[in-house]
Amino acid sequence: MAHTSTAANTAANTVEFGPATGLSCRECGALYELGPIFACTECFGPLEVAYDFGEVRREDIESGPANIWRYRSLLPVPAGVAAKPNLQPGWTKLVKADRLAAELGLRSLHVKDDSGNPTHSFKDRVVAIALEAARTFGFHTLSCSSTGNLAGAVGAAAARAGLDSCVFIPADLEPAKITMAAVYGGRLVALEGTYDEVNRFCSELIGDELGEKWGFVNVNLRPFYAEGSKTLAYEIAEQLGWRLPDQIVIPVASGSQLTKIDKGFRELVKLGLVEDRPYRIFGAQAEGCSPVSQAFKAGQDVVQPVRPDTIAKSLAIGNPADGPYVLDIARRTGGAVEDVNDREVVDAIRLLARTEGVFAETAGGVTVGVLRKLVREGRLDPDAETVVLNTGDGLKTLDAVAEHARPAAVIRPSLDAFRAAFAN
């Protein structure tokens, strides 16, 4: 029998959630009704959305809109979601990266470039799903703890939907991300401390009257929010001609994105939308915040928290909630979790920009850097079809590459001056 959550079950039972049937604990399997809850009361394990999909056909998906709502039959959203005021993220480019492949020694490489989303990061996907849950449960304020990109996505989504927003960030974020988070008119609160400390504060706020009727997208709405990452898996498979890649490199912050991409691939196989074939998943972290990578290399199942120190601030989560699940997936699929230092991150950003014209933020530098490292060390098959993720726009992290991106020369506007500067 499913547990009954006390918060907003009336709304959950009367408003459509598409194919979603409830919430299930990833640890003990306990079942709960759909509601704004995120932890199992039996074992404190994380909850995720459970489904009864029925029949899903490729042609129905392909006839849908060019955004994540083409997959509404696979998500916890109502059938009419596409007509509601939202940012309609998704269906971003899968770039065939032949020049980068040649540089790295790969036969076939694609870059899934999520910088093309409305606020220029993949976070628009997860927030779009959380927004629908917030509407269902009658929340009037959308909130989050954020390393930067999520704050902007929440602010924009709330503004579009006519909700209030209040987002919380570490005070030392990149200036561009702070500006972007503040421009949408909601409240932006900078806290002194790491992301993990900001997240802990938000968990406390949920239980206080100050946070009443607030939907924290990555806390009390997390089971719904996390499902948005599955749309990356769906799009990659569809854009490859309805097949799974042989191997994929995914950035790891909390680890939720990687676990949900794996979930998305497995759902496509179960539904018969793609051929059931092996695939390998590789996680990528920055050396200055690499607790999952360190656990993988040490052969451990427990992820020990760290204090982040890296330029890849969007991945700077020192106590990743889904870390153990990332380890399980990497090992099950024959992949790995690896890390690169800040210098390698910057070099990889420049490499991707120079070869493919894609300007990645530091998280994209991490994935490309790890991809290059895995190829160099012979741990990734150079002949296999490979996908690497870029989850955000480099304009958000300009400081990382500023010293390498200056004019070749400053000259007078004359041909003589140009000849003198570049004669050799």
CATH number for the domain that contains residue 158: 3.40.50.1100
Pair 106, 130 in one domain: no
Read off the pTM. 0.94
Pair 257, 376 in one domain: yes
In a domain, 394, yes or no: yes
| Residue given tokens 């996908």 in the structure block | 387
Q: What is the distance between the alpha carbons of residues 68 and 87, in angstroms, rounded to a whole number? A: 10
In a domain, 417, yes or no: no
Structurally, the chain folds into a number of domains equal to 2
Contacts of residue 354, defined as CB under 8 A and 6 or more positions apart, other chains included, come to: none
Pair 157, 292 in one domain: no
For position 217, what pLDDT does the model report? 96
Of the candidates 121, 128, 206, 207, the one whose C-alpha atom is nearest the C-alpha of residue 166 is 206
Angle between helical axes of 323-333 and 291-298 (0-180°, round to 10):
50
In a domain, 412, yes or no: no
| Domain region containing 262 | 94-120+226-404
Ramachandran region, residue 120 (left: φ > 0; alpha: ψ -120 to 50; beta: rest): left
Of the candidates 210, 213, 148, 158, the one whose C-alpha atom is nearest the C-alpha of residue 186 is 158
Tokens of 373: 């490292």
Pair 142, 113 in one domain: no
In a domain, 243, yes or no: yes
In a domain, 61, yes or no: no
In a domain, 67, yes or no: no
Report how far apart, in Å, the C-alpha atoms of 129 and of each of 33, 104, 216, 394 are.
Answer: 18, 36, 12, 25
pLDDT in tens, the chain (424 residues): 456 444 444 344 456 899 999 999 999 999 999 999 999 999 999 999 999 999 999 999 999 999 999 999 999 999 899 999 999 999 999 999 999 999 999 999 999 999 999 999 999 999 999 999 999 999 999 999 998 899 999 999 999 999 999 999 999 988 999 999 999 999 999 999 999 999 999 989 988 888 889 999 999 999 999 999 999 999 999 999 999 999 999 999 999 999 999 999 999 999 999 999 999 999 999 999 999 999 999 999 999 999 999 999 999 999 999 999 999 999 999 999 999 999 999 999 999 999 999 999 999 999 999 999 999 999 999 999 999 999 999 999 999 999 988 898 999 999 999 999 998 7
In a domain, 39, yes or no: no
| Residue given tokens 């990555």 in the structure block | 218
Q: Which of 156, 187, 222 lies at the terminal end of a domain, its last residue?
A: 222
